[in-house]
Amino acid sequence: MQVRTEAKEAAVAVTVGAVVLIAAYVEDGPAPGVLDWLLVVLAVSALAVHRRAAAVSLAVITACMLGYVVHADAGSLAAFPVLAGVHGVASGGRRTVAVAASLVFVAGFAATGPGTETVVLLLGWFVCAALTGVAGKNWQAYLKQTEERAAEAERTREETALRRAGEERLRIARELHDSLTHSISIVKLQAGVAVHLARKRGEEVPPALLAIQEASGEAMRELRATLEVLRTDVVPDDAGLARLDDLLERARTAGLAAELTVTGGPGRPLPAEVDRAAYRIIQEALTNVARHADRAETGVQLTYGDGVLTVSVEDQGPPSDEPDPGTGLTGMRERVTALGGTLHAGPRTGGGFTVRAELPLGAA
């Protein structure tokens, strides 16, 4: 970008110098000599690099072109390199330097004896060059300020969105705590009391009661973990397949015959989102088996393929129709879709139900 800008400025400087020399040959008077050519070339060279040292460049341009005017008795077009330099210095904010150079050149030009009208016209040109330079500087400052305001507004919108999302998470956490924690605690407490009384009387504790006690305790742990995520936006490291054995053991305690089969093995750690999604899909599928398939025999299979993890849960329950897309299946589908995977959930031929999800391992 800088190289392109310098090339454009050099082209402008060469064009200005060419105009000055062509005007010298067109106007009446002696043709420029070697010294005149050297002065113009030196002025043009200084103009081409004025952005690096604007004040020094303008001083060189003014001296060279003033010498050229005096020596060659040039016309007003000889002021072009100085006008360009004044404009550049003014756009850089050095107005005093621009005014001083303008006055020096106009005074020297007037000393060569041109008409008053020509001097006044030349003075007007310098005023315009200085004003356009100042206007250009102000315009650039305005554009920069506008860009900064736009960037600040964008940052503010993002911060506001994040703040509102945080407030919404806290609100949901409060609602969950107020609506579920008390009820689950009561269930767990009553189940614990019933188990204690049964053991105290020497009676055999019903497996269903033990399952209720275990399930309510796990529900409390899950709820606390969920509330912690909502409040801190940090997911626990063990919120995935590392807890699968515990999940299957609880299912068996509740009377659900669930067997796990693992094919292949992860060549690398699973992405966190895939790990959690696989666990939640299995958890929801087992819950549906317990609710709708009368705790039928169920097979859980994990297949680690080339770039994809396949999760399959099949039960041997009675024949069933296509399920209504309830909250559980909808949640499964949303998880899988978010990871770019596919989900099939429907009745099996001959009875039972199948949930099969393919989760790309490169999605995270």
Tens of pLDDT along 239-270?
A: 688 888 888 888 887 778 889 999 887 767 88
Q: What angle is formed at CA 145 by the lines to CA 142 and CA 147, rounded to 5 degrees? A: 110
Report CA 312 to chain centroid distance, whole Å: 36
CB 285 within 8 A of CB 293: no
Report CA 332 to chain centroid distance, whole Å: 28
Question: What tokens appear for 51 in the block?
Answer: 């952005």
In whole angstroms, give the CA distance from residue 192 to residue 28.
116
Angle of helix 2-26 relative to helix 34-48, nearest 10 degrees?
150
Query: Of 187, 221, 200, 340, which is closest to residue 277 (Cα–Cα)?
Result: 340
User: Percent of the chain having pLDDT more than 90?
Assistant: 6
The Cβ of residue 302 has, within 10 Å, a number of other Cβ atoms equal to: 19
The Cβ of residue 19 has, within 10 Å, a number of other Cβ atoms equal to: 14
**Residues 213, 219, 222, 223, CA torsion sign:** negative
CB 191 within 8 A of CB 212: yes
Which letter does DSSP use for residue 241 in this model?
G
In whole angstroms, give the CA distance from residue 246 to residue 224.
17
pLDDT confidence bin for 363, thresholds 50/70/90: very low
Secondary structure element (H or E) that encloses residue 144, with its range? helix 116-176
CB 126 within 8 A of CB 106: yes
Beta bridge partners of 315: 298, 353
- On the question of pLDDT at 23 being above 90, the answer is no
pLDDT confidence bin for 234, thresholds 50/70/90: low
pLDDT confidence bin for 364, thresholds 50/70/90: very low
Secondary structure element (H or E) that encloses residue 310, with its range? strand 308-315
For the question of whether the overall pTM of this predicted structure is more than 0.85, the answer is: no
CB 307 within 8 A of CB 327: no
